[in-house]
Structure 1
Amino acid sequence: MSQTALNLTAIAIFLMTMTALLGPIFNLSPTLPAIATFSLLGLATLDSFSLQGKGGTLVLDWLASFSPQHRDRIIRHEAGHFLVAHLLGIPVTGYALSAWEALQQKQPGQGGVSFDDTEVASQLAQGTISAQLLDRYCTIWMAGIAAETLVYDCAEGGTDDRQHLHTVLSSLGFSATSVELKQRFCSLQARNLLQQNWTAYEALVTAMQKRTDVAECRSLVNSLTTINN
């Protein structure tokens, strides 16, 4: 079962427990929590096996979107990926800031920044990758976490980013210790790039809030990083 389906199941159990406890106080029929729980469990099962978790992801993302801070964290996280990728010469091809936008763009999960990863995919398919290119991508993968940490002192997102980095490095034969060291090094690299180009980062956040297209975002970053550097 997907993580999203598990989340829906947890919500169903929580609702059942709460309604069972509060039912007598508000004179609610015991049938209501049972119906609600079985309905949510049924939806979770359907979503897991028929929709590959997309339905639940949309629902949970929609609920989370009511939090202004949650929306802001997502934008700042993805702006970190976007800016660092651009600075390191990896072309950004698109971005999605919600599960619904991701679905519309045929991206998996809750969205994110899309890159032209033809070169790295080709090298990984051959079982090798240049150290320089590997460092660039690892820095990009850690840039969202670095951006969140700079703004909020901690990162709530980035689990998939860490997992992606871990999977790639492990497939290349890196030990667990080496993976940890690489993650820390690239996090620091991403942090430094963001701090050095903070004006461009803030401008990019504003542009992405307005859903400015990728070409305009690139032009904006180019104009500001040229001035700053």
Structure 2
Amino acid sequence: MMEEGQGSTGALRAGVAVALITCLGAFGPAIGISPAWIVIFVGGGLVALSVDAATWQGMGGHVLAEALPGGEARLRRIAVHEAGHLLIAENEQLPVQRVMVGTLACLQAGLRSSGATEFSVPESVRMPLEDLRRWSRVLQAGIAAETVVYGVARGGADDRALLGRLWGLSGHDVGTAQREQRRARREIEQQLRRRLQDLEIKAGDLLSLAPRLMR
């Protein structure tokens, strides 16, 4: 799953809004901006923030960024991440329920994220070692895909957290869990490098289906 640091983004957005309002109030009249325009600007900004919170759960900035001309590159990275999950899940024969690329797609599904691949829930959290290895490969595949294509991964915090919980509930010691996860990561990076063309094609297919504003 891709994440975009919603908490820090929200705090930054609020800080910028306060700073702009303060600057307008202090310096607007001095540089010839009418107080009426200041009121309109501030009111419009507050309305926009309220609509964002009510309609887009505070994620409107991400939705807008993905709709702008440079948004396709942003969406493509998300598509690469989710394509990695999808390819490895198919290889491991783990059923995938749905794949979402982009903040708008996730919000429409009721998720606060920029991308997600949903799997069928395991029947038991205490899985055999081989099943844990399969999940280790699938859940780290998004991070591995980004690493293969871009050199570094930005998303995947939720994937790592879920994988950590699965291993934590498994009864295996920490050393075994860390060793198995590192091995799984190496295996899938090697596999995705060999299947780079398949990864690019799958990402392109997902990108073509990603909803965007005004499209």
Which of 178, 181, 185 is 2:179 aligned to?
181
Match in the other structure for 1:77:
81
Task: Tell me by how many angstroms 1:192 deviates.
Answer: 1.6
Between the aligned residues of both structures, percent identity stands at 22
Separation of aligned partners in 2, 1:77 and 1:193? 15
Offset, 1:179: 4.2
Q: 2:85–2:139: 8 Å Cα contact kept in structure 1?
A: yes
Listed one character per residue, the Cα deviations across residues 19-53 of structure 1 (whole Å, up to 9, x for unaligned) are: 43465164455767875776677678x65xxx8xx
How far apart, in 2, do the equivalents of 1:109 and 1:42 lie?
A: 19
Alpha-carbon shift at residue 180 of structure 1 (Å): 3.6
- Residue 92 of structure 2 corresponds to residue 88 of structure 1: yes
List alignment gaps of at least 5 residues for structure 2: 211-215
- Structure showing greater relative contact order (alpha-carbon pairs closer than 8 Å, 6 or more residues apart): 2
2:201 to 200, 203, 226: 203
1:32–1:8 Cα change, 3 Å: farther
SS in 1 for 2:117: strand
Distance 1:132 1:206, change over 3 A: same
Q: Which residue of 2 aligns with 1:24?
A: 27
- Contact preservation (8 Å) 1:141, 1:165: yes
Check the 8 A contact 2:136/2:184 in 1, yes or no. Answer: yes
Native 8 Å contact 1:16 1:36 kept in 2? no
Match of 1:24, as an amino acid? F
The code of the aligned residue for 2:73 comes to Q
Q: How many residues align?
A: 197
CA distance in 1, matches of 2:27, 2:177: 54
Q: Taking structure 1 as reference, are residues 11 and 188 closer, same or farther at Cα in structure 2, changes over 3 Å only?
A: same
Structure 1: which 5+ residue stretches go unaligned?
213-229
- One-letter amino acid of the structure 1 residue matched with residue 16 of structure 2: F
Which residue of structure 2 lines up, in the alignment, with residue 62 of structure 1?
A: 63
1:148 is the counterpart of 2:146: yes
Q: In structure 2, how many angstroms separate the alpha carbons of the residues matched to 1:40 and 1:179? A: 46
Alpha-carbon deviations, 1:188-219, whole Å to 9, x = none? Answer: 1221221222222222122222229xxxxxxx
